[in-house]
Homo-oligomer: A and B are copies of this chain.
Amino acid sequence: MFKENEDKESGFNVALSAALEDIHFNDAGLIPAIAQQHDSNEVLMMAWMSRESLEETLATGRVCYFSRSRGTLWRKGESSGQTQTLVELRIDCDADTLLLKVDQKGPACHTGRRDCFFWKVDGDKLVLDKDSLIDPDELYNKLP
């Protein structure tokens, strides 16, 4: 579906249900999903989605990933309270990457930082250049 229609002009559309069949999940059944804050355009994080987590995200409007370490659905913010609300979901030309425009409540990163990309290459150094908004101990222990 994606390749054969890439030369169409804007406005062309297909049924979402058909398009979902042609999304390329990898051998583990996952696709990378980039989360971008919808208004500032800052890139917050990258995580992975299964077909189930993608469909749940589209159905609920609350972003749900697939946790590779836990092997389960990961409803972003379920332990920290720092949820992501879906604003827009895009699929790339090769249908092997998702771009999620989201409204991130507080920090997106498990370290309490706003985003996960806090290590910057600077010459022959790698520099940590962002601080936590919230102490991660507070973030993960505040729910009953």
Instruction: Identify the A interface with B (CB < 8 A).
Output: 2, 5-17, 19, 32, 34, 36, 40-43, 45-46, 58, 88-95, 97, 99, 109-111, 113, 116-131, 136
Considering the chains assembled together, what is the distance between the CA atoms of A19 and B127 in angstroms? 10
Considering the chains assembled together, what is the distance between the CA atoms of A99 and B8 in angstroms? 30
Inter-chain contacts of A12 with B (CB < 8 A): 127-128
Inter-chain contacts of A129 with B (CB < 8 A): 10-11
Copies in the complex: 2
Considering the chains assembled together, what is the distance between the CA atoms of A112 and B17 in angstroms? 27
- In-complex Cβ contact of A14 among B10, B92, B113, B126 (8 A): B126
B97 and A119 contact, CB distance less than 8 A? no
Q: In the complex, how many angstroms separate the beta carbon of A5 from the nearest chain B beta carbon?
A: 7
- In-complex Cβ contact of A127 among B13, B32, B46, B126 (8 A): B13
